Structure 1
Amino acid sequence: MAEGSVLVEGSSFMDPFKGFLLTYFMPESCYDEFFLNFNLLDVPCLKILLSKGLGIGIILGSVMVKLPQIFKLMGSKSAEGLSFQTILLELLAITGTMAYSIHNKFPFSAWGEALFLMLQTIAIGFLIQRYGGNTSRGLLFIVVYVGLLILVLSPVTPLSVVTYLQASNMPAIIIGRLIQAVSNFRNGHTGQLSAISVFLLFAGSLARIFTSLQETGDTLMALTYVISSTCNGTIALQVLYYWNSSPEHKKKKKKKKSE
């Protein structure tokens, strides 16, 4: 009787644990391989587990990935060095990925960070306008973007249009990052660009190459993240190169030269 009760208690303990794993990390076949057959080196299941774990980690990280950038803007009350055109192109890429994933019913773990990146990027776009003396334009930007987003995510928009939007991500990412890179080069510093946000974005896009191939098998999605990683890596290298440079440092140099 006691043994039976122990078994029941053990199974009741395992049920929530099993449900959690099956919901977020692995299919039932992999659960059986790991916990019933004790085959902990099953390569296909390890790939699934790694992909799901990375995906959830990226989503959790995306909740705060651009917060350092937002706080830096609010603290300095300046958007020097940040390009609003880059923000618009970045939003185009994020929206394309999110709409394409939703229409194709990809798992949330494969694209969920796009939702949080979108919200934070909108905030940065508004702050750039606000600290540029155009608060009303910043509010208009939010209203117009939200309206377009609702339209793109609605059933009215055909899949062919959403696919084209996703395909346009690559030139949008390249042009957007190129604008930022050129701006950094001309200024001789990265302005109010947050190093933490830049490096987190670079790491996240690298990890997404693997997870998109593993979870969606979609070449277009994977290629988008390859391009994104390359572009984010370029900006990250500039952050390192201009690490000891700042707008104030450049101004002091100009003053000394004029003297």
Structure 2
Amino acid sequence: MAASTALKGLLVPHVLPENCYDELFLSLNLLHIPCLKIFISKGLGFAIVAGSLMVKLPQIFKILGAKSAEGLSFHSILLELLAITGTMAYSIANAFPFSSWGEAFFLMLQTVAIGFLVQHFGGHTGRGVSFLLAYFGVLALLLSSLTPVGVVTALQAFNMPAVITSRLLQAATNYRNGHTGQLSAVTAFLLFAGSLARIFTSIQETGDPLMALTYVVASSCNSIITGQLIYYWNVPVDKRKKE
């Protein structure tokens, strides 16, 4: 009885509404589709958020280990950061549940760190510090009441061209170099898997077509980078494409 009460306290209402808890765990009606969809969506959502804590750490460690950010496009990172920031600000403005967007917060911190490292190892540490100060200043403004909701919505809508351009810039850099440089395969694969799962959770948890479409576009673009990592898998980092 104590275990059942503890489980209920853990799941209700953060993961399941009480009626769904009763259906799935008390009545053992595991084929109750509406409640099952909620449970799967929440589980995926929290798993994505938890996974995002480390999704870009392999990329950060790879850069630090090599003391080089060769092969990474800073412009691509900026556009990716813009897309992540837009999703985070839009979700907060619309009071979406944390499980539907929480990874954006952790991905933002890691992407900012990568952006700084690209500048630092490119010999522009001062520019990297300026980038940090400018970004967090803009972020504070976006999350404040000074920014109209319409601006945040427009930023989220801009996510799609930002994601497409970001990934195409990185893909072009990979193609031009003839390898993927210090790009982390683990990070790329996790981003691809996470964006695929987010299509389902966005539809289920927010019902927002703009959010869902953003993740459809992100999944398609992430598949390009994933495909390049597979294609260039055995190409040494120091090899250059011959003209």
Same fold per superposition (TM over 0.5)? yes
80, 83, 89: which one pairs with 2:70? 80
Q: Distance in 2 between matches of 1:179 and 1:59?
A: 26
Q: Distance in 2 between matches of 1:176 and 1:36?
A: 48
Which secondary structure does the structure 2 equivalent of 1:229 belong to?
helix
Larger Rg: 1
Q: Distance in 1 between matches of 2:7 and 2:227?
A: 42
What is aligned with 1:235? 225
Spell out, residue by residue over 1:122-154, the C-alpha distance to the aligned partner (whole angstroms, 9 max, x if none). 000000000000001101100100000000011
What is aligned with 1:167? 157
CA RMSD of aligned residues (A): 1.3
Higher helix share: 1
C-alpha contact (below 8 Å) 1:93/1:172 kept by paired residues: yes
Q: Distance in 2 between matches of 1:34 and 1:225?
A: 29
Runs (4 or more) in structure 1 with deviation over 4 Å come to none
C-alpha contact (below 8 Å) 1:190/1:246 kept by paired residues: no
* Percent of matched pairs sharing the same residue: 66
Could you tell me the TM-score, scaled by structure 2's length? Answer: 0.97
Could you tell me the TM-score, scaled by structure 1's length? Answer: 0.91
Q: Distance in 1 between matches of 2:36 and 2:27?
A: 14
Q: Distance in 1 between matches of 2:108 and 2:144?
A: 17
Which secondary structure does the structure 2 equivalent of 1:24 belong to?
coil
Count of residue pairs brought into register by the alignment: 243
218, 221, 227: which one pairs with 2:208? 218
Spell out, residue by residue over 1:36-77, the C-alpha distance to the aligned partner (whole angstroms, 9 max, x if none). 333121001110010000001101110000000000000000
Spell out, residue by residue over 1:82-108, the C-alpha distance to the aligned partner (whole angstroms, 9 max, x if none). 000011000100000000000000000
Q: Distance in 1 between matches of 2:135 and 2:188?
A: 24
**Residue segments in structure 2 that go unaligned for 5+ positions in a row:** none
C-alpha contact (below 8 Å) 1:51/1:214 kept by paired residues: yes
**Residue segments in structure 1 that go unaligned for 5+ positions in a row:** 1-9, 255-259
